[in-house]
Structure 1
Amino acid sequence: MKAANERQEALLEDRLRNAGLRPTRQRIALAELLFAAGDRHVSAEALHEEAQDAGCSVSLATVYNTLHQFTEAGMLRIVQVEGARTHFDTNVSDHHHFFFEEENLVFDIPSGRVEVKNLPEPPDGTEIANVDIVVRLRRKPR
């Protein structure tokens, strides 16, 4: 078990270095929480709580800074669903999302399910870099 943990930590250190980031203890710990379980969406507050539960002593400001550093390095993607609430996605490929408002939950729309047509021409000197679609969900009234 210890050897597997050391291998995982070495892989994360390499991933951070390859992204141009120094593999500090806190970055490694947060990267382990973020990337150990496959693709996921997480807010800074939720990751901070996970870190505290795992015994990792990091401030909320450190979590925010690390998430933004990971995003700038191309390791995460921001999913903006509400004005003040940002979710971070470990799947950095182009894809769209559902947002379940009542539970503040973001999840991927299966690929190939959304077709975007008739986009406007971008202004001169610009190009469309990405189109993000967030479909908001709520329970139907009974």
Structure 2
Amino acid sequence: MATDLPARDGATGGDARRANDTSDVARMLKRAGLRPTRQRLSLGSLLFDGRDRHVTAEMLHEQAIRAQVPVSLATIYNTLHQFTRAGLLREVAVDGAKSYFDTNTRDHHHFYVEDQSRLIDIEGASIAVTGLPEAPQGMEITHIDVVVRVRPRR
């Protein structure tokens, strides 16, 4: 039963990499091997604000517009993917075509609240995945994403 699983809604306890201002973001980007461009600094400051978040590119674009950060949606997609490749974000695919970017990069899983299009964290130790096949020759399993879809009871 889903209520037996402890869940967090992203308010606390996330990844150790947090930034409070652009100098923190610049250091974080440099440690990840990314050049701290003006757009990366601006978007990083919006993303890494001290709380765990699940954002889509469209959500971040709206936030950037409200913060008067002049950036295109294409640049946001590119930056989110660069941050993901650098290990600063984790991409969570939902419904094949929709991706969320998670600032909590530790091992954990998600509830997906279907009628709200919202992710809620499930701690990694709460779910056991057994019976995994061997990875193909020359490959290794990097992580497993479990998305548990939920909706209000009818």
CA distance in 1, matches of 2:80, 2:103: 10
**Quick check: 1:71 aligned with 2:71?**
no
**Quick check: 1:18 aligned with 2:8?**
no
Q: Counterpart in 1 of 2:45?
A: 32
**Quick check: 1:103 aligned with 2:127?**
no
**Quick check: 1:60 aligned with 2:73?**
yes
In structure 1, the gaps of 5 or more residues are: 1-6
Provide the TM-score with structure 2 as the length reference.
0.82
**Quick check: 1:48 aligned with 2:61?**
yes
Identity score, percent = 53
CA distance in 2, matches of 1:57, 1:64: 14
Q: Counterpart in 1 of 2:148?
A: 135
Specify the SS of the correspondent of 1:86. Answer: strand
> Structure 1 residues 126 and 20 mapped into 2: Cα distance closer, same or farther (>3 Å)?
closer
Greater Cα radius of gyration, structure 1 or 2: 1
> Residues 98-119 of structure 1, C-alpha deviation per residue, up to 9 Å, x if partnerless?
1011111012013421111222
CA distance in 2, matches of 1:111, 1:131: 10
Q: Counterpart in 2 of 1:4?
A: none
Task: Confirm or deny: 8 A CA contact 2:43 2:64 kept in the other structure.
Answer: yes
Tell me which amino acid in the other structure corresponds to 1:133: V
Which residue of 109, 112, 118 corresponds with 2:131?
118
CA distance in 1, matches of 2:137, 2:34: 35
Task: Give the ranges of 4+ consecutive aligned residues of structure 1 lying more than 6 Å apart after TM superposition.
Answer: none
Q: Which has the higher contact order (CA 8 A, sep 6+)?
A: 2
Q: Counterpart in 1 of 2:3?
A: none
CA distance in 2, matches of 1:111, 1:130: 11
Specify the SS of the correspondent of 1:31. Answer: helix
Task: Confirm or deny: 8 A CA contact 2:107 2:123 kept in the other structure.
Answer: no
**By how many angstroms is 1:24 displaced?**
1.2
In structure 2, the gaps of 5 or more residues are: 1-19
CA distance in 2, matches of 1:14, 1:130: 26
CA distance in 2, matches of 1:122, 1:21: 30
CA distance in 1, matches of 2:135, 2:123: 27
Task: Confirm or deny: 8 A CA contact 2:108 2:125 kept in the other structure.
Answer: no
